Chain A
């Protein structure tokens, strides 16, 4: 398994599906899931490729609704995942 460098989590119930995170992501980890609808009636962003996350935090910087949490793993934690 490849090294996990970061992890992104989205509070899907609060997401308005604007998609600003999807264009901010350099690795195309996030996409809008048009097959689902959340409680607010929007199609939320989902983590399509968790292994690609670099933990850069660009998605969270662009999120207008502050629903994204990003963590970055240090080298020790990365080694544990190999």
Chain B
């Protein structure tokens, strides 16, 4: 008998506060599994962001620092410079990273800090009640745009992975999704590559994970996966956007 899947030791025993079907839980588990499998669990230091993932320090079984809104990359920079041999990562949502934290994420890549950022993009501000985020899709209905986002008024969504991929200091940038089991496997591989890239000293790595927000989108968890696949993936194409040459 082989245990194919059991709860990872990289997760604490606490139940998450996430809504049913929120894919934050999947991404948490992938980060935990990668850290366990690469033997980094006792070494890793994480920086939590503000948003739904603010309590990620309660769920990931590693030492973590809570950062001010959007400033997780700046905090991670400090941690990494004090502990240059430890794996350091930030776990941020799109309301945190793509809006108030845009300066920090661009400049952490610009400086080529050897940290890994897990960027969970669900195209909405989930925690505060479903307002429009910079990543909200055109026509998507949110509480601050009840008729749908109007690009003439609010602009077009920000493609963060593409933006970071063209910064010279970024070493590994990939966009993945978690809408079906195959995508989850690819997402895990991408997160592993991000950490390996950091430990090899190549530079900054960013893994953008397309995620769902069933409560904010007003859909059931299963409908949300379908909505992600049909609407988000065409605008946010999946794939490796930047990788070290020898990798």
Q: Quick check: A18 and B1 within 8 Å, CB to CB?
A: no
Q: Nearest CB to that of B16 among chain A residues?
A: A65
Q: Quick check: A71 and B180 within 8 Å, CB to CB?
A: no
Is B135 located at the chain interface by the 8 A CB criterion? no
Q: Nearest CB to that of A9 among chain B residues?
A: B6
Instruction: Quote the shortest CB–CB distance from A66 to chain B (angstroms).
Output: 5
Q: Nearest CB to that of A6 among chain B residues?
A: B4
Q: Quick check: A64 and B22 within 8 Å, CB to CB?
A: yes
**Total contacting residues, chain A, CB less than 8 A:** 32
Which of B24-32, B63-71, B98-106, B149-157 lies at the interface with chain A? B24-32
The interface residues of chain B lying within 8 Å CB-to-CB of A24 are 180-181
Is A55 located at the chain interface by the 8 A CB criterion? yes
Is B58 located at the chain interface by the 8 A CB criterion? no
Contact of B4 among A56, A62, A67 (CB under 8 A): A56
Is B221 located at the chain interface by the 8 A CB criterion? yes
The interface residues of chain A lying within 8 Å CB-to-CB of B180 are 24, 62
The interface residues of chain B lying within 8 Å CB-to-CB of A70 are 3-6
Q: Quick check: B21 and A19 within 8 Å, CB to CB?
A: yes
- How many pairs, one residue from A and one from B, have CB atoms within 8 Å of each other in the complex? 86
Which of B7-15, B45-53, B136-144 lies at the interface with chain A? B7-15
Report the interface size class on chain B: 20 to 34
The interface residues of chain B lying within 8 Å CB-to-CB of A55 are 2, 4
Q: Quick check: A69 and B20 within 8 Å, CB to CB?
A: no
The interface residues of chain B lying within 8 Å CB-to-CB of A6 are 4
The interface residues of chain B lying within 8 Å CB-to-CB of A77 are 1
The interface residues of chain A lying within 8 Å CB-to-CB of B29 are 64, 66
Is A20 located at the chain interface by the 8 A CB criterion? yes
Is A58 located at the chain interface by the 8 A CB criterion? yes
A19 vs B225: C-alpha distance in the bound complex, in angstroms?
11
Interface string of B213-237 (1 = CB under 8 A from A): 0100000111001000000000000
Is B185 located at the chain interface by the 8 A CB criterion? yes
A40 vs B20: C-alpha distance in the bound complex, in angstroms?
11
A61 vs B23: C-alpha distance in the bound complex, in angstroms?
11
Instruction: Quote the shortest CB–CB distance from A71 to chain B (angstroms).
Output: 5
Q: Nearest CB to that of B19 among chain A residues?
A: A16
The interface residues of chain A lying within 8 Å CB-to-CB of B6 are 60, 69-70
Instruction: Report 26 cross-chain contacts, Cβ distance below 8 Å, ordered by A residue.
Output: A6-B4, A19-B21, A19-B220, A19-B221, A20-B221, A23-B222, A40-B15, A56-B4, A58-B181, A61-B5, A61-B26, A61-B181, A61-B184, A63-B26, A64-B24, A64-B25, A64-B26, A65-B16, A66-B29, A70-B3, A71-B1, A71-B3, A72-B2, A73-B1, A74-B2, A77-B1
Residue positions of A touching B, CB distance < 8 A:
6, 14, 16-20, 22-24, 40, 42, 55-58, 60-74, 77
Known interface pairs A64-B22, A74-B2; 13 further A-B residue pairs with C-beta atoms within 8 A, sorted by A's residue number: A20-B221, A23-B222, A55-B4, A61-B5, A61-B181, A64-B18, A64-B20, A65-B25, A66-B8, A66-B25, A69-B3, A71-B1, A71-B2
